[in-house]
């Protein structure tokens, strides 16, 4: 275990909760602990695989890909696979693949 390697249970909790937050019907499945890998199935989006990867001489990253390329149309999630440096990008990528029309919020810092 390296300094900040996420465990697969944490990854699954994050993605399971993300489906709730995004109001998407779906399930998650932890399929491997090393590297941490979770599958996401939703009723309408593609089936996705999310993996936390650490490779020699490279910063660790999150990889989001289609779990089974034979499923669904090719037009679904056309930008996959993608790699993301951190959790915020990974979540944004997963959401964009599952629900391309989802509204995105933006943090506003202001006085009041």
Partner 1 sequence: MPIPVSVITGFLGSGKTTLLSRLLRHPEFSETAVIVNEFGEVGLDHFLVEASEDSIVELGTGCLCCTIRDDLALTLGDLLARRERGEIPQFRRVVIETSGLADPAPILHVLMADAALAERLSLDTVVTTVDAVNGLGTLEEHVEAVKQVAVADTLLITKCDLAAAEAAGVEARLRTLNPAAEIHTVVRGDLAPGRLFGRTGYSIASRPIDIGRWLEEERRQRSTIHDHKGHGHDVNRHDGRIRAFCIEREKPVSAVAFSLFLETLAEHCGPDLLRVKGIVEIAESPGRPAVIHGVQHVFHPPEWLDAWPGQDRKTRFVFITRDIPEQWVATLLDLLDGEARETSARLARSSPNKRQEKPLER
DSSP 85: S
Residues 38-57 that bind partner 1 (CB under 8 A): none
Binder among 14, 30, 31, 76 for partner 1 (CB under 8 A)? 14
Binder among 6, 35, 72, 81 for partner 1 (CB under 8 A)? 6
Could you tell me which of 104, 53, 38, 56 has the C-alpha nearest to residue 83? 53
Residue 1 in the binding site for partner 1 (CB under 8 A): no
**Environment class of 58 (CB within 10 Å of its CB; exposed 0-12, middle 13-18, buried 19+):** exposed
Q: Is the dihedral of CA 21, 78, 43, 83 positive or negative?
A: negative
Binder among 43, 55, 59, 70 for partner 1 (CB under 8 A)? 59
Among 27-35, 40-48, 67-75, 80-88, which window interacts with partner 1 (CB under 8 A)?
Answer: 80-88
């Amino acid at each position: 275990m390296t300094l900040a390697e996420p465990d697969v249970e944490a990854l699954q909790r994050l993605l399971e909760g993300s489906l709730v937050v995004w109001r998407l019907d779906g399930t998650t499945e932890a399929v491997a602990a090393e590297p941490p890998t979770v599958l996401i199935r939703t009723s309408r989006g593609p089936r996705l695989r999310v993996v936390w990867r650490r490779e020699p001489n490279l910063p660790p990253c999150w990889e989001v890909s289609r779990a089974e390329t034979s499923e669904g149309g090719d037009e679904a999630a056309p930008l996959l696979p993608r790699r993301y440096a951190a959790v915020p990008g990974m979540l944004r990528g997963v959401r964009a693949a599952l629900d391309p029309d989802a509204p995105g919020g933006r943090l506003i810092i202001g006085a009041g």
